[in-house]
């Protein structure tokens, strides 16, 4: 849509007829600048700041507080309000006492909500519309943990861009993504929503997704504002239990948890979201050190900070506030700018100001930040810029979007095992029995946090196999067992089948007649996600019984995993001929799996998380500390388990291919360097197999002696390369002072002099090593 003429706006404020000219809104009238803003500074940010200040100067206290309120849109904005609360919300909306809404979707609904504000409120400040666009809007891409297995940041920028374009076409202009919580505990359900256990990989992926959502210009109506969440420490919830307390030190906070968020702030992410948890006794929504001192002051970030759902009011059960009045005071002083469905700010900020408990400057700062994002989105130029029904019809679930979904799905598959080269299957594979409760499931591939995807719209694994199997192969199918029973949605408890084995007989009959069995097992889509923590991460229900029974009948069994977390598959990993980790791949799940199984695509995914031998290893991560007793020998008094290995079943960065990559010797142009200097490190990788494929070349460092204990390995760089059979490529990495920096015992980021080990390889375990020294003075 084009620019909107709103002369009634200034008439109602000042009885003066004016027009929105060149996006100036009311700034020209109020500050004496010319109508085309020709006298304004050339710097666009300074122009925006001038506009923000002009709007703020017109606002009453009630209107300011209203901008700090975010309502859930579960009530019908297109019809008459029903309940008392709904009527109150409707009146506040008309008065301009609401800054934004979430969960209002479609052009029809968002336009109507915007119209209520633009036609009834005094200042006509447009609403912002938020929604959880986590891994797609209508077209579903792999769940974020799965897509992180691609280690392809360009791909993740592309999928976020497609998701933004679909969401924007449906009236949404703000997503509560990406999640960049470093997550090391497979029990935590929301591990599926992030990029795994490593700070560096999380950082690279977070920046790529922000770029995809926001593009180069946030006012482009095909982009949406991103949100860096959850700030901070949410992924370290004790015992992997969602919303639980977090116990970490200052150095762990800065070295492990904060780097992705700092990079997000530097990348210009529009919004942040505080986390539910406390850290060392201080809930994040009341943590001034995190929200104001680090985020807003040290990092100089200019966006606005929204609470998670009801998190301000939750300061009461946390036990740091006796009521919502105190909760509101703590949160606004800490630096939370917008209250998501907490009912705290709208009820209490005015009273706190009147009682001199807070200064108006904290309210003004919050409102300026919210207005700034709205100006950057172009909403003041055109409040209905996201309200084009023709674009909505055109952009959603297109063939082009599904092609991107297929590309992402292919690249996210990880080959964990391939004994006797049973994969890829081929023309002579004969009869293929497809068995398992998830084999013909068209809903679970969509994953949790599925936005507006149509239930049951994904391509199932069975469909994908039939689509891609050679004509010479016969494909049979038996479900074997149900996994989940009853309702399957975000809010419903998940009921697992724990006793019904009536389908085993048919499955075993087919397995006995087949040349190869494809066993599709794992998790229901709603076993992982928010509130979906599990103490047991083995196969739920009767699946392990089915796995064991099928394997007894047919040794040529390929396991296809569908899951949103690292699972404990140790009971069956040794007996399977091949294991394919497919996660929840989204709309095109089955086609991607079919292409990989039959060799039409060579898998290249690498794990962003470690897979345990036992849940007792959790939290499990490759970049652990060495401890004072790292080696065992024949002694028992060292850091280990008596009943399971310390190491992962499948380690971080691991993933096989249908071809083989040989690594040459690591070469570096110098062994010592100092401030302002660098070392160039190269390694030549050769495809020695018979199939073209991609490899992720990974570089790790270990600081041998430092002021603090340092991890045994830290991912510091990676590059994904594609090689034809027989082709070799030389990969170059640059090591500089910044790469060596960490938050030291001096409580600042710096590089300490000393010796470093350097590792390069195809995963975090199988690496070659060299060394160098950093000197603080030359």
* Count of domains observed in the chain: 2
H or E, element range at 758: strand 754-761
Q: Is residue 101 part of a domain?
A: no
Residue 135: pLDDT above 50?
A: yes
Tokens 């004072």 appear where? 628
- The answer to whether residues 507 and 596 belong to one domain is yes
Q: Which residues are catalytic?
A: 308
Tell me the two tokens of residue 318: 């946390």
What pLDDT band is residue 13 in, cutting at 50, 70 and 90?
very low
Residue 73: pLDDT above 90?
A: no
Share of the chain above pLDDT 70, in %: 93
Nearest-angstrom CA–CA distance, 662 and 762: 10
- Choice among 22-36, 234-248, 595-609 with the minimum mean pLDDT: 22-36
What CA–CA distances, in Å, run from 201 to 155, 386, 609, 683, 730?
Answer: 14, 33, 11, 21, 22
Nearest-angstrom CA–CA distance, 181 and 233: 7
Concatenate the DSSP letters of all residues of 517-582 into one string: EEEEEE--GGGSSTT---S--S--TTHHHHHHHHHHH-S-EEEEEE-SS----HHHHTT-SEEEE-
Nearest-angstrom CA–CA distance, 316 and 737: 45
Residue 433: pLDDT above 60?
A: yes
| DSSP β-bridge partners for residue 131 | 175
Concatenate the DSSP letters of all residues of 250-261 into one string: HHHIIIIISHHH
Nearest-angstrom CA–CA distance, 443 and 460: 8
Nearest-angstrom CA–CA distance, 316 and 324: 7
| DSSP β-bridge partners for residue 452 | none
pLDDT given at position 155: 98
* 118, burial (CB in 10 Å: exposed 0-12, middle 13-18, buried 19+): buried
Quick check: 225 and 214 in contact, CB under 8 A? yes
Q: Choose between 6 and 509: higher pLDDT.
A: 509
Give counts: helices (H), strands (E), the chain: 24, 29
Neighbour tally for 236: CB within 10 Å: 26
Q: Is residue 545 part of a domain?
A: yes
Final residue of a domain: which of 586, 617, 648?
617
Question: Which letter, b or e, does each residue of 30-49 get, where b requires 16 or more Cβ atoms within 10 Å of its Cβ?
Answer: bbebeeebeebeeeeeebbb
Q: Which of 578, 766, 601, 558 is nearest to 691 (CA)?
A: 601
Q: Is residue 380 part of a domain?
A: no
Nearest-angstrom CA–CA distance, 408 and 386: 27
H or E, element range at 679: strand 678-687
- The answer to whether residues 435 and 495 belong to one domain is yes
pLDDT given at position 557: 98
H or E, element range at 506: helix 504-513
- The answer to whether residues 594 and 741 belong to one domain is no
Supply the CATH number for residue 603's domain: 3.40.50.1700
Final residue of a domain: which of 556, 591, 617?
617
pLDDT given at position 486: 82
Residue 338 in 3-state DSSP?
strand
- The answer to whether residues 603 and 727 belong to one domain is no
Nearest-angstrom CA–CA distance, 395 and 170: 9
pLDDT given at position 625: 96
- The answer to whether residues 451 and 522 belong to one domain is yes
pLDDT given at position 729: 98
Share of the chain above pLDDT 90, in %: 89
Nearest-angstrom CA–CA distance, 659 and 693: 7
pLDDT given at position 145: 98
Q: Is residue 107 part of a domain?
A: no
- The answer to whether residues 501 and 606 belong to one domain is yes
The DSSP letter of residue 611 is B
What pLDDT band is residue 6 in, cutting at 50, 70 and 90?
very low
pLDDT given at position 83: 62
Tell me the two tokens of residue 676: 């302002």
Residue 454: pLDDT above 80?
A: yes
Strands (E), 146-264: 174-175, 227-231
pLDDT given at position 396: 98
Tell me the two tokens of residue 636: 């028992």
- The answer to whether residues 456 and 525 belong to one domain is yes
Final residue of a domain: which of 617, 645, 669?
617
Average pLDDT over the chain, rounded to an integer: 93
Q: Which of 596, 715, 711, 719 is nearest to 199 (CA)?
A: 715
pLDDT given at position 1: 36
- The answer to whether residues 583 and 705 belong to one domain is no
Quick check: 448 and 526 in contact, CB under 8 A? yes
Task: Give pTM, 2 decimals.
Answer: 0.94
Quick check: 622 and 211 in contact, CB under 8 A? no
Question: How does pLDDT run across 278-316, given as a tens digit for each residue?
Answer: 999 999 999 999 999 999 999 999 999 999 999 999 999
Tell me the two tokens of residue 585: 């791949």
- The answer to whether residues 596 and 485 belong to one domain is yes
Q: Is residue 707 part of a domain?
A: yes
What pLDDT band is residue 76 in, cutting at 50, 70 and 90?
low
Residue 488: pLDDT above 90?
A: no
- The answer to whether residues 554 and 413 belong to one domain is yes
Q: Is residue 113 part of a domain?
A: no
Q: Is residue 12 part of a domain?
A: no
Question: How does pLDDT run across 304-360, given as a tens digit for each residue?
Answer: 999 999 999 999 999 999 999 999 999 999 999 999 999 999 999 999 999 999 999
Q: What is the mean pLDDT of residues 367-376?
A: 98
Domain, as residue range, for 734: 661-774
- The answer to whether residues 477 and 605 belong to one domain is yes
Question: How does pLDDT run across 566-623, given as a tens digit for each residue?
Answer: 999 999 999 999 999 999 999 999 999 999 999 999 999 999 999 999 999 999 999 9
Supply the CATH number for residue 770's domain: 2.60.40.10
Nearest-angstrom CA–CA distance, 98 and 4: 21
Residue 84 in 3-state DSSP?
helix
What pLDDT band is residue 491 in, cutting at 50, 70 and 90?
confident
Quick check: 448 and 564 in contact, CB under 8 A? yes
Q: What is the mean pLDDT of residues 658-686?
A: 97
Residue 439 in 3-state DSSP?
coil
Question: How does pLDDT run across 521-555, given as a tens digit for each residue?
Answer: 999 999 999 999 999 999 999 999 999 999 999 99
- 3-state SS string for 563-577: CCCCCCCHHHHCCCC
- The answer to whether residues 608 and 735 belong to one domain is no
β-strands 767-774, 754-761 pairing: antiparallel
Q: Is residue 515 part of a domain?
A: yes
């Amino acid at each position: 849509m084009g620019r909107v003429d709103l002369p009634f706006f200034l008439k109602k404020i000042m009885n003066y007829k004016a027009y929105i000219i060149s996006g100036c809104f009311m700034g020209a009238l109020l500050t004496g600048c010319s109508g085309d803003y020709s006298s304004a500074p050339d710097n666009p940010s300074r122009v925006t700041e001038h506009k923000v200040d002009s709007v703020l100067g017109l606002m009453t206290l009630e209107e300011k507080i209203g901008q700090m309120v975010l309502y859930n849109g579960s009530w019908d904005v297109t019809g008459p309000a029903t309940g008392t609360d709904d009527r109150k919300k409707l009146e506040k909306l008309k008065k301009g006492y609401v800054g934004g809404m979430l969960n209002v979707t479609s052009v029809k609904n968002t336009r109507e909500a915007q119209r209520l504000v633009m036609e009834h409120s005094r200042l006509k400040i447009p609403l912002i519309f938020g929604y959880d666009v986590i891994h797609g809007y209508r077209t579903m891409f792999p769940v974020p943990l799965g897509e992180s297995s691609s280690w392809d940041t360009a791909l993740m920028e592309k999928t976020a861009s497609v998701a933004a374009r679909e969401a924007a076409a449906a009236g949404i202009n703000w997503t509560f993504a990406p999640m960049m919580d470093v997550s090391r505990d497979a029990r935590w359900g929301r591990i599926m929503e992030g990029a795994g256990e490593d700070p560096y990989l999380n950082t690279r992926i977070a920046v790529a997704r922000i770029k995809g959502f926001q593009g180069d210009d946030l006012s482009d109506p095909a982009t949406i504002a991103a949100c860096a969440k959850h700030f901070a420490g949410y992924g370290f919830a004790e015992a992997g239990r969602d919303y639980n307390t977090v116990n970490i030190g200052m150095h762990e906070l800065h070295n492990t948890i904060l780097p992705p968020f700092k990079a997000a702030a530097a990348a210009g992410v529009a919004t942040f979201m505080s986390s539910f948890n406390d850290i060392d006794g201080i809930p994040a929504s009341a943590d001034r050190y995190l929200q104001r001192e680090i985020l807003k002051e040290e990092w100089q970030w200019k966006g606005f900070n929204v609470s998670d759902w009801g998190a301000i009011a939750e300061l009461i059960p946390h036990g740091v506030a006796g009521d919502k009045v105190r909760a509101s005071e703590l949160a606004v002083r800490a630096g939370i700018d917008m209250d998501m469905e907490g009912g705290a700010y709208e009820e209490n900020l005015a009273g706190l100001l009147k009682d001199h408990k807070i200064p108006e400057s904290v309210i003004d700062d919050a409102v300026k930040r919210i207005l700034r994002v709205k100006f950057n989105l172009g909403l003041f130029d055109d409040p209905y810029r996201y309200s084009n029904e023709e674009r909505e019809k055109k952009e959603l679930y297109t063939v082009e979007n599904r092609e991107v979904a297929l590309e992402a799905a292919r690249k996210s598959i990880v080959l964990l095992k391939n004994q006797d080269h049973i994969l890829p299957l081929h023309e002579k594979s004969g009869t293929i029995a497809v068995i398992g409760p998830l084999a013909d499931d068209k809903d679970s591939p969509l994953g949790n946090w599925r936005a507006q995807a149509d239930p049951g719209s994904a391509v199932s694994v069975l469909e994908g196999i039939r689509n891609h199997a050679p004509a010479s192969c016969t494909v049979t199918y038996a479900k074997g067992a149900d996994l989940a029973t009853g309702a399957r949605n975000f809010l419903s408890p998940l009921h697992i089948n724990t006793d019904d084995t009536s389908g085993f007989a048919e499955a075993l009959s087919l397995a006995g007649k087949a040349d190869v069995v494809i066993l599709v097992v794992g998790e229901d889509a709603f076993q992982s996600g928010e509130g979906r923590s599990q103490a047991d991460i083995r196969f739920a229900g009767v699946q392990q019984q089915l796995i064991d029974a099928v394997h007894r009948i047919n040794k040529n069994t390929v396991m296809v995993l569908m899951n949103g977390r690292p699972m404990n598959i140790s009971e069956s990993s040794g007996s399977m001929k091949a294991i394919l980790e497919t996660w929840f791949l989204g709309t095109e799940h089955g086609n991607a799996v079919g292409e990989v199984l039959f060799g039409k695509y060579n898998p290249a995914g690498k794990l962003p998380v470690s897979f345990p031998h036992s849940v007792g290893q959790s939290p499990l991560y490759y970049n652990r500390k060495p401890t004072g007793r790292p080696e065992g020998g024949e002694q028992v008094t060292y850091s280990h388990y008596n009943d399971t290995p310390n190491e992962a079943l499948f380690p971080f960065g691991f993933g096989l291919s249908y071809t083989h990559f040989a690594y040459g010797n690591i070469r570096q142009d110098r062994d010592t360097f100092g401030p302002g200097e660098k070392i160039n490190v190269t390694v030549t990788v050769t495809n020695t197999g018979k199939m073209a494929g991609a490899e992720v070349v990974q570089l790790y460092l270990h600081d041998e002696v430092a002021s603090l204990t340092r991890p045994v390995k830290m991912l510091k760089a990676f590059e994904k390369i594609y090689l034809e059979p027989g082709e070799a490529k030389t990969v170059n990495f640059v090591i500089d002072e910044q790469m060596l920096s960490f938050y030291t015992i001096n409580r600042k980021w710096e590089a300490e002099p000393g010796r470093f080990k350097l590792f390069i390889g195809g995963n975090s375990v199988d690496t070659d090593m060299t060394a160098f020294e950093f000197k603080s003075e030359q």
